[in-house]
Amino acid sequence: MNSSPLRTLVTGSASGIGAAVAARLRSRGDRVVGVDRVSTDSESIVCDLSDASKRADVVDRAAAMLGGLDAVICVAGIFRATPLADRDLDSWRAIWAVNLEAPIDLMAQALPVMRTQGFGRIVTVSSVHGRFAQRDCIAYDVGKAGLDAATRSVALDGARWGIMANSVAPGFVRTPMSLNADGVDETDTEAFRTRYSEGGLLPLGRAAHPGEIADAVAWLSSRENTYLTGQIVTVDGGLTSTF
C-alpha cells in the first residue's frame, strides 16, 4: 500500500471539531491546509465559504500549496435557531450557504483533482440533525439532511475513480458551537443533566470531546479505509439509539 502522507484540506479548522481534525491528521503525518473565515497559521486559507465567488478557487489553491490533494474534510458550519413561524428565508439560506452549498461545491471542485490521481477520501461533518428534527431547527436540519444526501451522491460519482466519501454525524460535542447565548455550554446545564445524562436519553451520559469526532474522521479519510463509502457514521454516545 502507498504510505506517502496524505495532502489534506480541512474546512472550519480554526475552532472546535475542525481544529481537532486538523491536529489529529497532522499528528498521523498528513500535510494539512486549513480553510476558515479566520486565520489559523501560514498553512491556512482565509475564506468566507458562504460566498460562492470567494470559495471558487479554494480547492485549486490548496492543491497548489500541497502539490496535489488526497483528502477533503468539510467541517465548517454554523448553527442558529430558525423558528418555522418566522419564515425568515434569508436566515435559512445563510445557514444553507455554509452548511450545505459550500461543502457540495468543494466536493465538486475536488473530484476532478482526485480523479487524475485515482485516489481520494472525502469526509463531511453532518449531525444527528440530518436524520432527526429538533424544534426551531428547520434550516439546520434540512441543511444537514441535504449534506448527507450530497455525500452519498459524491460517493457514487467518485467510486469509479478510487474516491470514497462518507459523513460523520455527531450528537453533542463540547465546542464553541455548543455555548448558549449566556456563554454556558449547553451540556453543563441542569436541563441537559436531567434529560440526557441522568434521564438516560444519552447513554454515555456526556458530550463528546472534539478529538473523539476527529478519530472517526481520521479513519474514514485514511488509506486504511478501503471499503467504506457512501455512509453516514453516527458518533453520538448512543443518543439516537434511544427514544
- Name the residues that contact ligand NAD, by CB under 6 A: 12, 14-18, 36-38, 48-50, 75-79, 98, 125, 127, 170, 172-173, 175-178
Label the pairing between strands 71-74 and 7-11: parallel
What element of type H or E holds 16?
helix 16-27
**Smallest distance, Å, CB 96 to ligand NAD?**
12
Nearest residue (CB) to ligand NAD, 115 versus 131? 131
Q: Which of 140, 172, 192, 196 is catalytic?
A: 140
DSSP lists the bridge partners of residue 232 as 167
C-alpha cell at 166: 462518507
DSSP string, 136-156: TBHHHHHHHHHHHHHHHHHHH
User: At which residue does the C-alpha cell 445563510 appear?
Assistant: 94
| Cα–Cα nearest to 222, from 4, 6, 21 | 6
**Smallest distance, Å, CB 23 to ligand NAD?**
13
Nearest residue (CB) to ligand NAD, 17 versus 155? 17
**Smallest distance, Å, CB 212 to ligand NAD?**
12
Residue 199 near residue 243, CB atoms below 8 Å: no
Nearest residue (CB) to ligand NAD, 5 versus 211? 211
Nearest residue (CB) to ligand NAD, 40 versus 229? 40
**Smallest distance, Å, CB 17 to ligand NAD?**
4
Q: Is 140 annotated as catalytic?
A: yes
- Annotated catalytic sites, by residue? 140
